[in-house]
Structure 1
């Protein structure tokens, strides 16, 4: 059984003839009682302090658990966002590559179409040039023919003179 300061103070010693000095024993008991009472109070305060600290530790552990859960959740969200961003980036790159390929193919088709148009225009130009050459030759031939015919036919003046001259011989 534990002793309390009151137990110490109210303790009765048996009396004997050559015993201790009563005043000295009472003074010592008073001093022990006060020290013991101070220790009991300090012990109670320490117990209360330990209880509060244990409560704080419990709260800190709960906060730590909550922080760990929050951190884990934040890491998961961050990883999902990273994965989503990476997938979106890959999709955009793929779309850009597809669009670039399509544009390149369209450009090649346009180049081929323009090359074909140029080839056709060159062919048309050659045909037109040949047609013009043929037309010019024909016209030159006509001019030459006319020149020859003019030389062979008498001019109007020559014709008039021949008609007005009397023919010397007539049978």
Structure 2
């Protein structure tokens, strides 16, 4: 049985031959009862305080767990974001390199086309110059023949002078083209 202040106050003792002084025992029991009441009140107060502290501790542990979970999720999310960003950057680099290769290849093709066009134009120019030289030569010969024929018909002495005036070098004309 637990002692309470009421039990202590109501405690009765039998009288014996050499017993204690009743009033002193009663006063002592009253003092003990008061001390027990005070200790019980203090104990109850401490229990309530401990219960409050335990509730707060449980709440703090719950908050700590939430913070840890949030931190873990944030770290995982951050790692995923970094990985995703790295993959995206690598993909962009690959696309840029591919595009650069395509541009370079296109530029090479264009340069080859221009080079081939220049070669073709030079060949055409050479052919045209050769044709023009041939035309000029044939026209010069035709002109010389006409002048010679004309001179022979009119004056044989002046013919030599006029033939020398008609001298045209077709190479000079072709080079100017």
TM-score grouping bracket, smaller chain normalisation: 0.7 to 0.9
User: Displacement, 1:153?
Assistant: 0.8
Q: Partner residue of 2:94? A: 94
Structure 2 match to 1:9 = 9
Give 1:73-152 correspondences, 5 Å limit. 73-152=73-152
Structure number, greater radius of gyration: 1
Give me the whole-angstrom Cα distance separating, in 1, the residues matched to 2:114 and 2:5.
115
CA-CA distance at 1:74 after TM superposition: 2.5
CA gap 1:78/1:18 in 2 versus in 1, 3 angstroms: closer
Distance 1:125 1:118 in 2: 10
1:107 and 1:18 mapped to 2: Cα distance? 126
> 2: distance between equivalents of 1:89 and 1:79?
15
- Report the more deviating stretch, 10-19 or 102-111: 10-19
- Structure 2's unaligned 5+ residue stretches are 156-177
Give the superposition deviation at 1:2: 2.8
Q: Distance in 1 between matches of 2:9 and 2:30?
A: 7
Distance in 1 separating the partners of 2:18 and 2:77? 88
Cα distance between partner residues in 2 of 1:62 and 1:97 = 52
Aligned-CA RMSD value: 2.3
Corresponding residue for residue 64 of structure 1: 64
Pair 1:39-2:2 in alignment: no
Q: Report the Cα offset of residue 14 of structure 1.
A: 4.7
Distance in 2 between the 1:103 and 1:17 partners?
123
Instruction: Name the SS of the counterpart of 2:154 in structure 1.
Output: coil
TM-score in terms of structure 1 length: 0.76
Q: Name the structure 2 match of 1:158.
A: none
Distance across 2 between alignment mates of 1:27 and 1:123: 140
